[in-house]
């Protein structure tokens, strides 16, 4: 990670703010700090990902001006999913509740698509592609592209030459069909939202902001379910969800060091 940061920034990195899941206990946080020290980094702070996402949107400053604010961080990544409920007052963050599913994420949506197209290929060509590892890798790559594209278009065609035993594969899928085959997974994403509210003994009407983090939050149906649940309130999604945590960590690093940079 140190090398990746140095390559991107074009200069040596000596200090860093490291983000971790809100689930991490003290020993796990210390292990992250130790790993940073071993790599030659001065760890300025270990901070929750949910907190840095809120910082990215400047919600710590809103809390100073308007009193206590309740913020829900909805973090849906490639392989894991977690929801955190924070209270922010006068720039101080308190994690009220966390919940999630360490086995739910974008990969599960990809798997559904892959299985769908394996069945489609067998139906069309009477050939079973499920035992062809290389073909499945190519199909999975195409399915990831389908998932991303259907976030902004209503329909997409998948085309893979020589997928299996010399047979080309062509198929079209609509966003509506994509949503239909994954609706149980999408609805499952709402369970931790309800759980953190129960655990924090907070009504959903008391949540001031909902922040989206992680590439899978781009999926329109997930955004719709969240917006409907919170009575049509706008979601915080203007920052690239893949970068929100890093953005907030960079802001925190600038505050701690008293330095700003156009690159950070």
CATH number where 117 lies: 3.90.640.10
Q: Clarify whether residues 205 and 97 are in a common domain.
A: yes
Q: Clarify whether residues 86 and 193 are in a common domain.
A: yes
Q: How confident is the model at residue 78 (pLDDT cuts 50, 70, 90)?
A: confident
Q: Which two tokens stand for residue 256?
A: 């701690």
| pTM as predicted | 0.90
- Residue 71's pLDDT is what? 96
Residue listed under structure tokens 């609706």: 183
Percent of the chain surpassing pLDDT 90: 80
Q: Is the pLDDT of residue 6 over 90?
A: no
- Residue 247's pLDDT is what? 93
Q: What is the mean pLDDT of residues 237-242?
A: 96
- The domain boundary residue, chosen from 158, 184, 210: 184
Strand pairing category for 42-48 and 15-20: parallel
- Residue 260's pLDDT is what? 64
Residue 237 maps to a domain:
yes
Q: How far apart are the first and last CA of the chain?
A: 15
Q: Are 74 and 226 in contact (CB under 8 A)?
A: yes
Residue 239 maps to a domain:
yes
For 15-29, b/e burial (b = at least 16 CB within 10 A) is ebbbbbbbebeeeeb
CA pair distance 203, 197, nearest whole angstrom: 6
- Residue 62's pLDDT is what? 76
* Higher per-residue pLDDT: 75 or 3: 75
CA pair distance 35, 42, nearest whole angstrom: 11
- Interval 116-158: pLDDT, tens: 999 999 999 999 999 999 999 999 999 999 999 999 999 999 9
Residue listed under structure tokens 């329109």: 220
Q: What is the mean pLDDT of residues 15-43?
A: 91
- The domain boundary residue, chosen from 184, 208, 233: 184
* Higher per-residue pLDDT: 79 or 18: 18
| Cα torsion angle, 236, 240, 246, 250, sign | negative
- Eight-state DSSP code of residue 262: S
CATH number where 94 lies: 3.30.420.40
Q: What is the mean pLDDT of residues 4-11?
A: 88
Beta-carbon contacts of 160 under 8 Å, excluding residues fewer than 6 positions away, are: 138, 139, 142, 168, 169, 170
Q: Which two tokens stand for residue 194?
A: 């309800």
* Higher per-residue pLDDT: 93 or 102: 93
- The domain boundary residue, chosen from 124, 156, 184: 184
Q: Clarify whether residues 145 and 48 are in a common domain.
A: no
Q: Which domain holds residue 15?
A: 2-104+189-257
Q: Which two tokens stand for residue 22?
A: 């809100």
Average pLDDT, the chain: 92
Residue 53 maps to a domain:
yes
Q: Is the pLDDT of residue 100 over 80?
A: yes
For the sheet with 209-213, list strands across it.
92-101, 81-89, 69-76, 209-213
* Higher per-residue pLDDT: 59 or 263: 59
SS3 243: coil
- Residue 57's pLDDT is what? 94
- Interval 160-211: pLDDT, tens: 999 999 999 999 999 999 999 999 999 999 999 999 999 999 999 999 999 9
Q: Which two tokens stand for residue 57?
A: 């949107």
Q: How confident is the model at residue 64 (pLDDT cuts 50, 70, 90)?
A: low
Q: Is the pLDDT of residue 109 over 80?
A: yes
How many folded domains does the chain comprise? 2
Q: Clarify whether residues 7 and 94 are in a common domain.
A: yes
Q: Clarify whether residues 194 and 99 are in a common domain.
A: yes
Helix axes 106-125, 175-188, angle to 10 degrees: 140
- Residue 2's pLDDT is what? 85
């Amino acid at each position: 990670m140190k090398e990746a940061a140095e390559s991107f920034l074009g200069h040596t990195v000596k200090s860093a703010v490291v983000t971790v899941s809100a689930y991490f206990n003290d020993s796990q946080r210390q292990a992250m700090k130790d790993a940073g020290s071993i790599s030659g980094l001065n760890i300025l702070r270990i901070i929750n990902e949910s907190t840095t996402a809120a910082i990215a949107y400047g919600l710590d400053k809103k809390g100073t001006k308007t009193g206590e604010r309740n913020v829900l961080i909805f973090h849906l990544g490639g392989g894991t999913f977690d929801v955190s409920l924070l209270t922010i007052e006068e720039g101080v963050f308190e994690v009220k509740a966390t919940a999630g599913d360490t086995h739910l994420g974008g990969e599960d949506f990809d798997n559904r698509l892959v299985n769908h197209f394996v069945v489609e290929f067998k139906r069309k060509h009477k050939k079973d592609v499920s035992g062809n590892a290389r073909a499945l890798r190519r199909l999975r790559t195409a399915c990831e592209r389908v998932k991303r594209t259907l976030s902004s278009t209503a329909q997409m065609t998948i085309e893979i030459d020589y997928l299996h035993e010399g047979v080309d594969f062509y198929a079209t899928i609509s966003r509506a069909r994509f949503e239909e085959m994954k609706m149980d997974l999408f609805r499952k994403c709402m369970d931790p939202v309800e759980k953190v509210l129960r655990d924090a003994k907070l009504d959903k009407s008391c949540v001031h902001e909902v922040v989206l983090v992680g590439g899978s939050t781009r999926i329109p149906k997930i955004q719709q379910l969240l917006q409907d649940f919170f009575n049509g309130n706008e979601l915080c999604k203007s920052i690239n969800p893949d970068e929100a945590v890093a953005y907030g960590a960079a802001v925190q690093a600038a505050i701690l060091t008293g330095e700003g940079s156009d690159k950070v």
